[in-house]
Structure 1
Amino acid sequence: MTTDKFTGQVAIVTGAGQGIGFEIAKQLSLGGADVLLNDLSYDLAVQASSAINALGGNCHPLVGDASDIDFIQQMVDEAVHRFGKVTIAIANAGITLFGDFLNYPQQSLQSVMNLNLQGSFFLAQRVARQIITQKSGGSILFMSSVTGHQAHQDLAAYGMTKAALEMLAKSLVVELSQHQITVNTVAPGATLTERTMEDAGYQNTWSRITPMGRAATVEDVANAVLFLVSPQARHITGQNLIVDGGWTAVSTSPY
């Protein structure tokens, strides 16, 4: 999608070196936004930004840990320094660590909570502070998951964090609406990315059990995200949009 609906906007997208995050950053940039693209991997961040710029976008990479509070502030400062402001934040960075509940280790739980929750919480906080200072209004979006709605084997910790992000979005309606800041979530279901396609049976399995007959593409998810941070959604806040081809309506297990 190439439009000019994001002209004049400045976005931070975390975990955007590949997959859903990359597609979001690409579509925002091709829609006219200046984009600060974050990833933990130097190679992925640089390659992703270069690819977007080659298509005519304006994207700058910033490598670092999106769960680290000091680095989160650095992202905001860098966006303001380079582009003059921040108006959109997409907390896309996240980690999935499978494990059965009875044997789930503390280190895994802490890692999942640090990135999925702490990183998202403080990105929203620091971006909101900047938007309030600017008096510009803006949009914050958290990346949730269908596992925040339906129990999924070996994902108790991950699903817990995703459900929490949806409650955080609702809570921030009370805190941020007076500043014209919308806060929403998107909950993808099975999605074809570089990571999920490492599983040889992933696409066939999820195509079979998804009512629409296929897993989502990264474009499917990015289109939902872009709508919620676009001018067309300025009166939508505290909401969650599930993008799963109908899977949560039937919740057929892949196992």
Structure 2
Amino acid sequence: MDKITKGRFIGKTAIITGAGQGIGFEIAHQLAAEGATVLLNDIDEALTAHAATRINAVGRCLPCPGDSGDLAFIEGIVDRAVTETGTLDIVIANAGITLFGDFLSYAPESFHKVMAVNLGGTFFLAQAAAKQLIRQGRGGSLLFTSSVTGHQAHKDLAAYGMSKAALEMLAKNLVVELSPYGINVNTVAPGATLTERTAADAAYAATWASITPMGRAARPDDIAAAALFLVGDSARHITGQTLIVDGGWTTVSPSPY
């Protein structure tokens, strides 16, 4: 495929974590296809390299393997963005982990791991990025990836759902902290989505199609379209908001079990 030469994000640099596959990959792919230089992170080094190679067929993507919950790595990826491109404009904290478990027997180590990645990684990436955006003095966009489980109870996901609801509150709070600098902060909350991970469940697509008002589970490009809107110039006056992309599931909330 030919390199993209024009688009909404020409001249901009974006960081996205947890983007080796699935929703994160598609967001990174679409950003690069619209002209952004993308620093793509995943904890899996081989997956990061493969994803970056695919995206480099349509734009510019720099692979950045590492632990997005590690403070030194977080600071390093922000520095690399500026060193290699001269700017930082968009940061999408997409990395997260899901550890299912019954509330009554949920292990402390599982709880702390979910919080460290889903909350700690997002919080400190936003902090490091915001400092850079403030230094640049041109504003910018932060986007967090939440989930419908932050809105509706879901079996065996008490810790995960709690972490996702907290991200939405973080976005609201940062309106107070970052609006004076022209930085908007929003959250996208995907519903059931067909990715490499969910493909392991043979019944997933049919189950969610049957209980989703729009008649199907989401595809990664559905979520990516919402994400690109929220970090684009058309959404500059939108901040502190969560955009749910779930085909209407949270409106009616039938259980998949």
Q: What one-letter code is carried by the residue in structure 2 that aligns with 1:158?
A: Y
Structure 1 residue runs of 5 or longer lacking an equivalent are: none
Q: What one-letter code is carried by the residue in structure 2 that aligns with 1:43?
A: A
Residue 197 of structure 1 aligns to a residue whose secondary structure is: helix
Q: Equivalent of 1:74, from 73, 76, 98?
A: 76
Pairing 1:128–2:126 present: no
Contact kept, 8 Å, 1:2 with 1:27, in 2: the verdict is: no
Q: Equivalent of 1:38, from 24, 41, 47?
A: 41
* 1:54 shift after superposition: 1.4
Pairing 1:108–2:110 present: yes
Q: Deviations over 1:147-196 (max 9, x none)?
A: 00000000000000000000000000000001000000000000000001
Residue 43 of structure 1 aligns to a residue whose secondary structure is: helix
Structure 2 residue runs of 5 or longer lacking an equivalent are: none
Aligned to 1:229: 231
Residue 63 of structure 1 aligns to a residue whose secondary structure is: coil
Change (3 A) 1:26 1:43: same
Q: What one-letter code is carried by the residue in structure 1 that aligns with 2:152?
A: Q
Q: Deviations over 1:190-210 (max 9, x none)?
A: 000000110111001000000
* 1:2 shift after superposition: 9.0
Note the aligned Cα RMSD (angstroms).
1.0
Runs of 4+ residues deviating >3 angstroms: none
Q: What one-letter code is carried by the residue in structure 2 that aligns with 1:193?
A: T
- How many residues in Structure 1 have an aligned counterpart in Structure 2? 254
Aligned to 2:161: 159
Q: Equivalent of 2:217, from 215, 218, 234?
A: 215
Aligned to 1:17: 20
In 2, Cα distance between equivalents of 1:188 and 1:63? 24
Residue 215 of structure 2 aligns to a residue whose secondary structure is: coil
* 1:136 shift after superposition: 1.5
* 1:249 shift after superposition: 0.3
Q: Deviations over 1:27-52 (max 9, x none)?
A: 01111111100000111100100001
In 1, Cα distance between equivalents of 2:65 and 2:55? 16
Residue 64 of structure 2 aligns to a residue whose secondary structure is: strand
Q: Equivalent of 1:180, from 179, 182, 187?
A: 182
Change (3 A) 1:3 1:254: farther
Change (3 A) 1:3 1:101: farther
In 2, Cα distance between equivalents of 1:181 and 1:22? 24
* 1:3 shift after superposition: 5.3
Aligned to 2:56: 53
In 1, Cα distance between equivalents of 2:69 and 2:202? 30
Aligned to 2:198: 196
Q: Please, what TM-score do these two structures have when normalized by structure 2? A: 0.97
Residue 73 of structure 1 aligns to a residue whose secondary structure is: helix
